[in-house]
Amino acid sequence: MFDTFKNRLEISGVLTTITALRISAGRSTEPIDSDLPVIKDAVGYPFIPGSSFKGAMRSRLEAFLRGIDPNLAANPANEDEWSITADRINTLKTEPGKSDAQLTQEILDETDFVSKLFGSPWLAGKLQIQDLAVDPDCWFGQYQERDGVSIDRDTETAANAKLYDFQVVPAATEFKFRAIVENADDAELGLLLLGLHQFETQQIPLGGGRSRGLGVVELEINRWQWTDGSSPELLMQYLEQQIGSAPKADATAQLDSELRERWSTALLNGLRDDKPKLRSASKTTATANP
């Protein structure tokens, strides 16, 4: 499905921690280290894995879509809940006289809406989110240590020998955000806008300790770069910019209102009027013929 370039959206901005953030690297074995240090890069700076950001956004969007129609979002972590199983893909592959293009289209037809954007065990995602590196201009190694303790359910007091400490990144720390999505259709781009808006309005927390109030973050997007390669002429313009024979298009601070309206309308119309087109074909058939 990625053999023809159709479009590309590049997004960049800043993710700021509103409360302390804990993304754990696992239990430390160092005698003088925190019991649960935060994850760090090769030079010791904290970062937020792109997979953590992407997973949190996907989970929130899946919850919305399942509230409308459970067949709009499969569970890629459980094969029993996939929209198309490995056995089904193998069956499609063994059907005689089928071209690769036909096989690809059938797999796409039976893939749920969310997996087409975010990916699944059987399909590469269209959305890439880079690891969010801390802004070195606002980072001075100011980790904070917090204490935790397990509670004895009988006495409702601290359990014996269950005291531990964990490390957090403090509030007001800034991380650099960059995401790229390629070959997405209008409804998928509308879904992405919805997910980003959840981060812009502090509605999706990240990391551990969220029940303690940790992990509240706010995304501020400062650059959008939309490339439409739907025609040979538009694609040639983009390639000329890439090789330096034409002025590069400036990234805009705000997404064009017409594009935002087009993508949002495509998503809402799909969820309101065309749900069979968004959910997988196999699930649509099963719903219609229980």
Give me the DSSP letters along 221-273: EEEEEEEE-SSHHHHHHHHHHHHTSSPPPPPBSS--HHHHHHHHHHHHHHHHH
Q: Which pLDDT belongs to residue 81?
A: 86
CA gap 160, 81 in Å, rounded: 41
Give the mean pLDDT of 68-78.
87
Give the mean pLDDT of 184-199.
97
Q: Which pLDDT belongs to residue 216?
A: 97
Give the mean pLDDT of 134-143.
85
CA gap 184, 113 in Å, rounded: 11
- Kindly compute the dihedral angle of the four CA atoms of residues 54, 56, 58, 59, in this order, to the nearest 10 degrees: 160
- Residues 230-282: pLDDT tens digits? 888 888 888 888 887 667 667 787 888 999 999 999 999 999 876 666 765 54
pTM: 0.84
Mean pLDDT of the residues in the chain: 84
Longest C-alpha distance within the chain, in Å? 74
Q: Which two tokens stand for residue 49?
A: 């894995």
CA gap 51, 233 in Å, rounded: 35
Q: Where are the domains of the chain?
A: 7-28+39-141+173-280
Indicate if the pLDDT at residue 182 is higher than 80: yes
Bigger pLDDT: 118 vs 166 = 118
Q: Which pLDDT belongs to residue 215?
A: 93
Per-residue pLDDT band at 28 (split at 50, 70, 90):
very low
Q: Which two tokens stand for residue 40?
A: 């760090």
